[in-house]
Structure 1
Amino acid sequence: MKISKEVKTGILVVLGILLVIYGFNYLKGQNLFDSNSVYYTEFDYNALTESSLVTVSGNPVGKVQDIAYDFKTGKTRVSFFVNEELKFSKNSVVRLYETSLMGGNAIAIILAKDGDMAKSGDTLKSEVESGLVSSLSKNFSGISSELNSTLKATDTLFNNLNAFVTDDSDAGLKSTIKELNETLKSFKATSNTANALLSKNDENLAAILEKFKILSSDLAVVSTELKEANIGTTIETLNKTLNNLNGLLANIDKGEGTMGKLFKDEALYDNLEGATKEMEALLKDIKLHPKRYFRILSKKEIPYKEEETK
């Protein structure tokens, strides 16, 4: 069977058209020979392009198919296709994120474990993740502000330094350098003097440091002994004793108890004073007239006579 040139030309034209359609869709990221499922989502703004990647856990599973602005809702409606082997829940979320510092964007499907399975044509919820570029922009903004403050402080410092230099001529600058040189020479001389003084007194300084070392050791030993002596318990016991003593003195001051009555009861005091005087008189009379009390020394009873007071 012989095919005419017209038929061959028609077949070539049809194949060319099919090849153009396939190439166009391939450039858009869609393979006509793959079996895919199409889903939809919405964002408040558009940061995607057609053929942007669709990923799951960082793995490419599809691409963005179409992007359109919805004049009714004011949102960007995005349609994307994924391999039909991917099964996920309707509760899964489509997340817009940045893929690199060059500004590329993609969408990721954050899989959910609950809910019914999504079907081709369903609309999924969306969210936007703060990308690396946005974070770096914020950090660079903060660094820029701090750098600006530093430059302002440096400018103020130089202005203050310029205020000290009133003579801008070469002579004035030379004078300033000369004074600075003399100051440095004076500081060097002082340093040399201090070094010489330290060199002459090396032995004394060593002895002082050794004594200080011994004193530090003794203080450490004393501190350890005081710690082991349990001074806290001793002070607590002394405090309790003083409290008891204060209570006893308070009772005495109130006239409670034997001691309190002895100090506060005037009648008892007077009785004791009278008894003391009578005891003193009795002892004195015994000393002067022993026969009056010891019958062995005298058979005659000698009556007691109270001594007359002059």
Structure 2
Amino acid sequence: MALSKEAKTGLMVAISIAVIAVGTYYLKGFNLFSSEKKYYCYFDNVEGLAESSTVQVKGKVVGNVTRIILQGNDKVKVEIGVSKKVQLPQGTVAAIFSPDLMSAKSLKLELGNSSTILNAEAEIPTKIIPGPIDKITGQLDPIMTNAGQVILRLDSVMLAIQTVLDAETQQNLHQSMASLETTMRNFASLSASLNRESAQLAGVIRNANSITANIARNSDNIDGIMTNLRSTTDKLSKAELDQMVNKLEQTLNETQILMGKINRGEGSLGMMANDKQLYNNLSSSLTSLDKLLDDLKKHPSRYINIRLFGRAPKDNP
């Protein structure tokens, strides 16, 4: 029996609608030709999770959210379908999260470590993982609260300033601003003076650079001087200073003993130092010797008689 054109057209439209529906569900993650196991999750707030949202395990889509039902006890029941190929151990947790800023909410299953596998239609514990926007909002809330408090305090401060700033205070402020302006002009003048002296300052800097360059060029000589100085100090430190000090102390002791003997009149030096008569005799002898030498200079013929020819010369009286 041949089909009419209308029947063929209707059949093609039905097939197209079916293909589009199957493709749409497939793109959403539903696999109409495979069986799934259902599980139930209960949330206080689904945070924008929608039916047909993906269910992931370690980033791989393994199912979808099939139904979201608001319960009478203010709990939200979420029914998920997971492929039978995925085994969910006990301790698995269902978490609502946001993959990124632009994506919708999804559900991911954090698998437990138990060897016991959950049965179909079992209840899975839940939690909510804050997304990037939630984290930003959570960080902004304290900042906004603090900003509000700061604004209130600033308003109070401004009111206090308006109360304090009477006519006399305002006049004082004007005078202070005038003084500040004068100070700034003086500072500008000082800056101009410094600019005029910048050439001399540059010369000083060049001289300093030249000195440092000379020091760098003579670093070998400086090192030699320091080496010699270190060697000298090492020799001094190694010298037998203790022995020299002991010898000097012994010499001083002997000198002190000698001076004691002299003071007591012991020995020749002691007798000479303490015998007054000997001193007087020596003084008298020296005086006589001076007179003799003086007379010898004046009348040498009295003491030296040398005659080669003729008579000896007569001394003047």
TM-score, with normalisation over the residues of structure 1?
Answer: 0.48
TM-score, with normalisation over the residues of structure 2?
Answer: 0.47
